[in-house]
Amino acid sequence: MEYPKFSIKHKSLMSKHLKQEIFDKMKGLYSKNNFGLQNIINSGVINPDSDIGVYVGDEESYELFADLLNPIINEYHKFSDSSFHKTNMNFDELKIDNPDPQNKYILSTRIRVGRNLKNFPLGPAISKQQRLVIENIVSTALTSLKGELKGKYFSIKGMKKEDREYLILNHFLFKEGDKHQQAAGLNRDWPSGRGIYHNKNKTFLVWINEEDQLRIISMQKGASIGSVFKRLVVAVNSLESKMDFSFSDHLGYITSCPTNLGTAMRASVHIKLPKLAKNQNLFTKITEDNNLQIRGINGEHSQSEDCIFDISNKRRLGVTEVQCVKEMYNGVVALINAEEQIKINL
C-alpha cells in the first residue's frame, strides 16, 4: 500500500490531515472486521470532490485510526479530543415558533437521525448475511409502533419499479448510485437487505441499511419544526427501548461517516430563496455564521432547482439534539429576514 497521490483537486479533510508519517503508522492496521486504512480513505482518494473523504467500518476503527480521524472530526464539528458528547431529546425544551406561518418560503421540514446496532459492523464493512439479520431485527421492531407512527415495511428487493420510482421522486426513498458511497463499499449486494418503513401519511419513515443501518426520519410540509421534532423523539425513544444502538460517551452515536457522529441528527428545511440565490456572498455568510449547510433539493452532492435549497444544521457532535434543531431554526429565521430585506427585482 502506497501513500495516495493527491492532486490540487483533492480538497477533503482527509487529504489535508493524512500526512506521510500518519499513513506509515497506520497502513498495516486492521480492525477485527478486517477494515483497514485503505478502506477508510478509498472514497476520498477516488473522488477528489469529497468534502470529508473517509468512511468508517466499525466502532473499533475510530480508536484504531484516531490519528487521522480525530483531526477530521474536531475540525468539522469544532470539537476536541477531551470533550464528551451530551444528548438531550426533550422536545419540551425546544422553545420555538413557526418561522414561516404564511408558507411563503419553507416548503417542508425534515429531521432525521442515524443509528447503528451495537456489536455489528457499520455499512462499509458489513457482510450480506449481517445486513439481512439487521433488516429482520429492525423491521420486526418497527411492527410494534402504534398510533401515528404505525405503518408498513417494504423491502426494496421486492418493490415494484413504479412504486420505487415514485418514492424516490418524492424524496421518501434512497437509491443506489452515489459515487462516494460506492467507493466506500456501501452499495455492495444492492438491494439485498435494504428497505423502507413508512406510516400512512408518510410523515414518519425509517430507511434500513442505507449509509447507516437506520435512518429514522420525521417530515411534513410547511415549517412546523417543533411538531416534526416531537414526532421524531417519540419514535426514537420507542425504538431505543427495543434495540441496543452503538453509542460512545466521547463520540455519541456511532456512524459510518464522521460528520454524523454525536446526535447523528440532520434537521433541515426545503426553502425557496430567489433573492439570496443571487447574492451568494450574503447567503454563505449567514449559513456559516449559524453553522448551517447548504445542499440541493435531491440531497448531498446535488444542485438547487428553482432557487429551492436544502438548509440544515452542520454540527452534530458536542451539541445536543435540541441545540441542533435550534441552530437550524435560528439560521432559517436569519435567512428569511435577509430574503425579505434584499431589494432585487426578480
Catalytic residue among 109, 257, 287, 324: 257
How far from 103 is each of 55, 109, 120, 277, CA to CA, in Å? 38, 12, 43, 19
* C-alpha to C-alpha distance for 132 and 115, rounded to whole angstroms: 16
Q: Report CA torsion sign: 237, 238, 242, 245.
A: negative
Whether 110 is catalytic is no
346 within domain boundaries:
no
pLDDT tens digits for range 134-188: 999 999 999 999 999 999 999 998 888 888 888 888 778 888 778 999 999 999 9
Whether 266 is catalytic is yes
The H or E element spanning position 231 is helix 225-240
Read off the CATH number of the domain in which 266 is found: 3.30.590.10
pLDDT tens digits for range 202-231: 999 999 999 999 999 999 999 999 999 999
Determine the pLDDT at residue 115: 98
Catalytic residue among 194, 266, 315, 316: 266
Answer yes or no: do 194 and 292 share one domain. Answer: yes
Catalytic residue among 215, 231, 315, 316: 215
Answer yes or no: do 165 and 271 share one domain. Answer: yes
How far from 108 is each of 15, 105, 199, CA to CA, in Å? 36, 9, 17
* pLDDT score of 99 more than 90: yes
Amino acid at 247: F
Catalytic residue among 135, 210, 211, 339: 211
Query: Average pLDDT of 123-129?
Result: 97
Catalytic residue among 109, 203, 255, 259: 259
Work out the pLDDT band at 81, boundaries 50, 70, 90.
Answer: confident
Read off the CATH number of the domain in which 50 is found: 1.10.135.10
Query: Average pLDDT of 18-22?
Result: 97
How many folded domains does the chain comprise?
2
* pLDDT score of 305 more than 80: no
Answer yes or no: do 106 and 48 share one domain. Answer: no
Determine the pLDDT at residue 69: 98
Among 35, 52, 77, which residue terminates a domain? 77
Query: Average pLDDT of 236-242?
Result: 96
Determine the pLDDT at residue 298: 60
Catalytic residue among 295, 316, 320, 321: 295
172 within domain boundaries:
yes
Quote the domain boundaries for residue 318: 91-341
* pLDDT score of 345 more than 70: no
329 within domain boundaries:
yes
Percent of the chain with pLDDT over 70: 97
Answer yes or no: do 113 and 24 share one domain. Answer: no
**Phi/psi of residue 227, each to 5°?**
-65, -40
Amino acid at 82: S
Whether 259 is catalytic is yes
Catalytic residue among 110, 112, 131, 194: 112
Query: Average pLDDT of 269-284?
Result: 95
Whether 307 is catalytic is no
Mean pLDDT of the chain, nearest integer: 93
Whether 165 is catalytic is no
82 within domain boundaries:
no
Give the number of other CB atoms < 10 A from CB of residue 315. 20
Answer yes or no: do 111 and 163 share one domain. Answer: yes
Whether 215 is catalytic is yes
135 within domain boundaries:
yes
